[in-house]
């Protein structure tokens, strides 16, 4: 039984690790958001609310980059600055996807924001995985001499 579970883990290691890292990323992001609004920012002030959102996004993306690089995609890229910039840009693009989905579902279609956020989270998670796997952390083939 143990070997079967280990075999399944090895087969789906990247996806399993991505889900775990994603959960931890969400936790980090929410912790920064709630720590901000309960200590030094006022969630009832529109500008301060957005500052809290931005701080939580920065913390989440930073944590996600480091953990995805090391534990999910096991990147060996030497140019970390370039890779981090690509990762951040990809997450910025999916932030816009999130905003568009929420606008369309909640504002245009009148769907409950909780349901809309779940739908958006699924779409964003899939998009983040695909972009990370095929563009940011893509495996580069070593060139033979």
Q: What is the pLDDT of residues 102-121, one digit of tens each?
A: 889 988 999 988 798 889 98
Report residue 17's pLDDT band, with 50, 70 and 90 as the boundaries: very high
Mean pLDDT confidence for 1-10? 94
pLDDT per residue over 47-80, tens digit each? 788 898 899 999 999 999 999 999 999 999 999 9
pLDDT of residue 102: 87
Whole-angstrom Cα distance, residue 19 to residue 76? 21
The helix/strand/coil state of 3 is helix
140 falls in which pLDDT band (50, 70, 90)? low
Residue 137: its H or E element: none
In this predicted structure, what is the pLDDT of residue 106?
A: 87
Question: pTM for the whole thing?
Answer: 0.82
64 exposure class (CB count in 10 Å sphere: 0-12, 13-18, 19+): buried
∠ CA 141-143-145, nearest 5°, is 160
Query: Which positions ≥6 away from 105 have C-beta within 8 Å?
Result: 111, 115, 116, 119, 120
Q: Domain residue spans in the chain?
A: 1-74, 76-138
């Amino acid at each position: 039984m143990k070997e079967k579970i280990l075999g399944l883990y090895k087969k789906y290691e990247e996806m399993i690790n991505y889900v775990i890292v994603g959960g931890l990323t969400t936790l980090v992001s929410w912790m920064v958001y709630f720590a901000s609004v309960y200590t030094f920012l006022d969630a009832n002030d529109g500008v301060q609310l957005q500052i809290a959102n931005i701080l939580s996004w920065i913390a989440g993306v930073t944590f996600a980059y480091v953990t995805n690089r090391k534990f999910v995609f096991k990147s060996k890229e030497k140019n970390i600055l370039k890779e981090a910039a690509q990762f951040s840009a990809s997450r910025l693009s999916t932030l816009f996807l999130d905003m568009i989905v929420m606008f369309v579902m909640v504002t245009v279609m009148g769907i409950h924001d909780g349901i809309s956020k779940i739908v958006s989270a699924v779409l964003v998670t899939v998009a983040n995985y695909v972009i990370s796997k095929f563009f940011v952390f893509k495996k580069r083939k070593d060139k033979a001499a």
